[in-house]
Chains A and B, each alone.
Chain A
Amino acid sequence: MADGAGESVSSEIGQGITIAKTGEPGAFGGELLTINFGPHHPSTHGVLRLIVDLDGEQVRRLKPVIGYLHTGIEKQAEALRWQQVVVVTDRHDYLSPPINNLAYALAVERLLGVDVPPRAEALRVIMSELTRLSSHLVWLGTSGIELGASTMLMYCFRERDTILDMNEEISGFRMHTSYIRPGGVMADATPRFLEMLDRFIAKMPSNIDEYEDLLTMNPIFRSRTIGIGRLPAEDAKVLGATGPMLRGSGVAWDLRRSMPYSGYENYDFEVATSDLCDCYGRYLVRIKEMREAVKILRQALDRLPDGPVNIDDRKVLPPPREELETSMEAVIHHFKLFTEGYTVPPGDVYVAVESGRGENGCYVVSDGTHKPRRVKFRAASFVNLQPLERMAMNHMVADMVAIIGTADAVLGDVDR
């Protein structure tokens, strides 16, 4: 690239140019350089691409470029029947499938005007909290690697494997469980699942201690995160941050507490916050959230009510297998359900749940047919990318990696 003679060449970035001079003078006597970062880069958490203007090694401007994982999930949902959409909700924020299911299921249930039985609600809470744990474990493992603590990945994925085994036990599938569905859950918890969960809850606090031993007082980790990526509370609110990003700035806003759903108001837990407003604060919030998730799991398991796990409505959920052999009506319902699905009364509804990343909302419009008219996801990762420039401003490039890490964006969630 020849000297830009004062003109900006940032617009040409994207045609294979990775470094370009902008012609703008920097504070250190040089000029700003435009650097392309990603989409294939080991520390961008997937396929995030950033165009960064650097003054020396300091970040002066940062522009996320998204869409590299655009899957057309929302459009795809319009072509599927109501019960089939559950499968694609699994795959947008692929680190928290049951929580995505829950947002969609709650939205559809509100349109249908039904409430699920207490046992289903408790199982939904159990799956949500297990998912929150597994999502934070991926975050902790990969962020650890980016800051040089490569042992973290091994420890975190050891526990994540246990959670995936539990997913498999309860739903038959490791990651994309499709377990939570409109009208209830896929199947009742097996006794083996409850045993596994009990063992897991007993073991997990000591595992979290292990992670903290490695990181919390680690001088390298502290110097890489304390004071890095500051996001004051007002900025976090203005930029729409939710989840650990907002709570790491000292704002106690957690949808499980502020707008309870699925019976979260009955559980005793603390909303984790930190006043540090930096990467270290967000780390502390997530660690605390993992401890609180274990607490919620213990309460949910101890108080797990008996009873059915699905609503008793043959128009929405298929009849039990035994009924098919004796009841003609059951066969008709079964046939209708699997050939044309069910219809949902016209209307629109927005339901938000708290995922590992923040407010995971689902806006559903029904026109009264057997397919949704529109399904829109309010992706927490997408909105949490907004404060990225604010946080990375005037930091070094290496610190930018720590900042992207604590933003914990899942690109499937950003691009959908």
Chain B
Amino acid sequence: MGVEALAESLGQNVLTTTLAKLIGWGRGNSVWPLQFGLACCAIEMIHTATASVDIARFGSEAMRASPRQADMMIVSGRVSQKMAPILRTIYDQMPEPKWVISMGACASTGGVFNNYALLQGVDKIVPVDVYIPGCPPRPEDLLNALMILQERIKAQGITPRQ
């Protein structure tokens, strides 16, 4: 194969990019959520995974029961004071890099329950990347949050939390 032919075939078959972009592209399009249902929002989270909305279109249908295999936690519902340490433990068990979506008003701020029993916002114990308003939010809202998170992941590069 001559040099010119080689150069021509390279032009057709090779893409140049940076490693950070490539890794961001891979991570962003295969976010595996933790299967962690808390309350009402968990039902809408299941709806997001079923046929009518279909989160699989965005590469996030692989809900993992083990935190070791997940890289995104969807805090789907109200977090009680008793549940808070467990939620933090599960978060700590997830491997880096990891992201958190706070789904719904209760997870984000305590919602309508401003009382002794609930954690007034899950961001008091874990860092949250995307908040979704609503009580509970529609499945489309969760998809939108996932797309916002994907954009963020793609922009974050190789080492997100630095």
Contacts and interface: CB of A to CB of B under 8 A. Distances in A.
Contacts of B116: 72, 75
B38 A47 contact: yes
A260 interface: no
A153 B46 contact: yes
Contact of A91 (B40, B90, B138): B40
Interface string A124-159: 000000000000001001100000000001100110
Closest 9 CB pairs of A and B: A72-B117, A94-B40, A157-B50, A42-B65, A72-B115, A68-B83, A161-B52, A70-B80, A70-B117
Interface residues of B, number: 33
A70 B42 contact: no
Interface in B72-110: 77-78, 80-83, 86, 90
Contacts of A76: 112-115
Contacts of A70: 80-82, 117
Interface in B113-128: 113-118
A161 B42 CA distance: 15
Given A71-B78, A157-B47, A42 B118 contact: no
Contact of B86 (A68, A79, A412): A68
B43 A94 contact: yes
B97 to A, nearest CB: 21
A305 interface: no
Interface of B: 35-40, 42-44, 46-47, 50-52, 65, 77-78, 80-83, 86, 90, 112-118, 135-136, 138
Contacts of A157: 46-47, 50-52
Interface of A: 39-42, 46-47, 67-73, 75-76, 79, 87-88, 91, 94-95, 138, 141-142, 153-154, 157-158, 160-161, 164, 174-176, 411-412, 415
Contacts of B82: 67-68, 70
Contacts of B115: 71-72, 75-76, 79
Contact of B113 (A73, A94, A411): A73
A154 B77 CA distance: 22
Contacts of B77: 69
B50 A153 contact: yes
A73 B111 CA distance: 12
A160 B114 CA distance: 31
Contact of A175 (B43, B50, B90): B43
Contacts of A153: 46, 50
A76 B116 CA distance: 9
A161 B53 CA distance: 10
